[in-house]
Amino acid sequence: MTEVFDSLRKEIEAESLDSADAVDSFRIRYLSKKQGKITDLMKGIKDVSPGERGTYGQGVNELKTLANAKIKDAKTKLGSSASDQRDIDLSLPGRAPKMGSLHPITQTRHLINRVFESYGFTVEEGPEIEDDWHNFSALNFPADHPARDMQDTFFIEPTDLEHGGIMLRTHTSPVQIRTMKDGEPPFRIIAPGRVYRNESISYKSYCLFHQVEGLFVDEGVTMADLKQILHAFAQTIFGDDVQMRFRPSFFPFTEPSAEVDIWWNDESLPGGGRWLEILGCGMVHPNVLEAVDIDSEKYTGYAFGMGIDRIAMLRYGIDDIRILFENDERFLDQFA
């Protein structure tokens, strides 16, 4: 029996493993489950008498250790590059890194910013957590105005009328107040940002959305300036032949106030389209100017506010606002 082991050991020692292929065929010849010589020896243990099985098994194990050590040795000598090469298929197409893209709301915000920046507006920001004074009082909201109601506003500290409350801002208009309070006229700013409202969620309204506020205050600013800038804006976003109308409206912080509609062509509708509201605007109410210590006899201004989500939905033909907040990659990938 020992002769079998001895001759196999010599045979193994004599093998020269000088290539990856040689290592492979060596492993198959001695160690493979089906036909390996050492494996065969192991299988033969059942024919060995019980008394000799211990020595036999030990002999086989020594051969196994020897063979494995030889393989390990050869692999180190051949270097990892040689053995790895067989695992790499250079003809396979590469895996491209997945590129992210800007969210459609971000893209639309950038576009709106660009348009107004080209008219000399600068971009301002304000906090999303506001106090009653900036969000309502300074904007000429009467104490009993329904917008102050719990139904619409997410309060952080509830309002008591003497001290005011703390809330998630319900619109970007408080940035008008912050800007005017901190500086001297003229002001020519836009303020994009997130706003929050406690509304029931549906395809057309969500508890958070985005607005851009615009404000221009100087001597001699008129409603004609407002119409001109908004028309130019609508042309850039919706095309030169956009049809636009001003509809009288009401906001506490502007007088007069208007809502702006654009004619939206849609073959599926009788008459080929309908008027769609895109923003609210007006001449800054004298009370608002006085609240921030600006002389309303000397200065006038216009303001406007529009929903970025709304504009994005029109541009991209999105019919459910909720999808803008779901971060579904199948949706987002379309804006790469």
Question: Residue 220 has which token pair?
Answer: 């001699």
List 70, 109, 171, 210, residue binding ligand DAH (CB under 6 A):
171
SS3 assignment, position 300:
strand
Q: Which is nearer to ligand DAH, 41 or 217 (CB)?
A: 217
State the Cα–Cα distance between residues 118 and 113, nearest whole angstrom.
8
Helix (H) or strand (E) holding 25: helix 20-31
Question: Residue 329 has which token pair?
Answer: 């990659």
Q: Which is nearer to ligand DAH, 206 or 304 (CB)?
A: 304
The reply on whether position 304 binds ligand DAH by CB under 6 A is yes
| Residue with the shortest CB distance to ligand DAH | 305
Q: Which is nearer to ligand DAH, 30 or 116 (CB)?
A: 116
Q: Please report, for residues 74, 138, 169, 248, 283, the alpha-carbon distance to residue 175 in angstroms, rounded to integers and kept in the order given.
A: 73, 11, 10, 24, 16
CB of 307 to ligand DAH, least distance (A): 8
The reply on whether position 251 binds ligand DAH by CB under 6 A is yes
Q: Which is nearer to ligand DAH, 135 or 159 (CB)?
A: 135
Residue range at the interface with ligand DAH (CB under 6 A); choices 17-25, 54-62, 198-206, 302-310:
302-310
DSSP assignment of 306-336: EEHHHHHHHHHT---GGGGGS--HHHHGGG-
Is 167:154 a contact under the CB 8 Å cutoff?
yes
Is 127:169 a contact under the CB 8 Å cutoff?
yes
Q: Which is nearer to ligand DAH, 192 or 305 (CB)?
A: 305
Residues 6+ apart with CB under 8 A from 205: 197, 199, 321
The reply on whether position 305 binds ligand DAH by CB under 6 A is yes
The reply on whether position 303 binds ligand DAH by CB under 6 A is yes
Question: Residue 1 has which token pair?
Answer: 């029996």
CB of 256 to ligand DAH, least distance (A): 10
The reply on whether position 104 binds ligand DAH by CB under 6 A is no
Closest by Cα among 216, 189, 208 to 284: 216
CB of 213 to ligand DAH, least distance (A): 5
List 108, 140, 153, 173, residue binding ligand DAH (CB under 6 A):
173
The reply on whether position 213 binds ligand DAH by CB under 6 A is yes
The reply on whether position 148 binds ligand DAH by CB under 6 A is no
Binding pattern to ligand DAH, positions 253-282, x when CB under 6 A? -x-------------------------xxx
Closest by Cα among 291, 265, 264 to 277: 264
**Residues of the shown chain interacting with ligand DAH in the complex, contacts defined by CB under 6 A:** 171, 173, 213, 251, 254, 280-282, 303-305
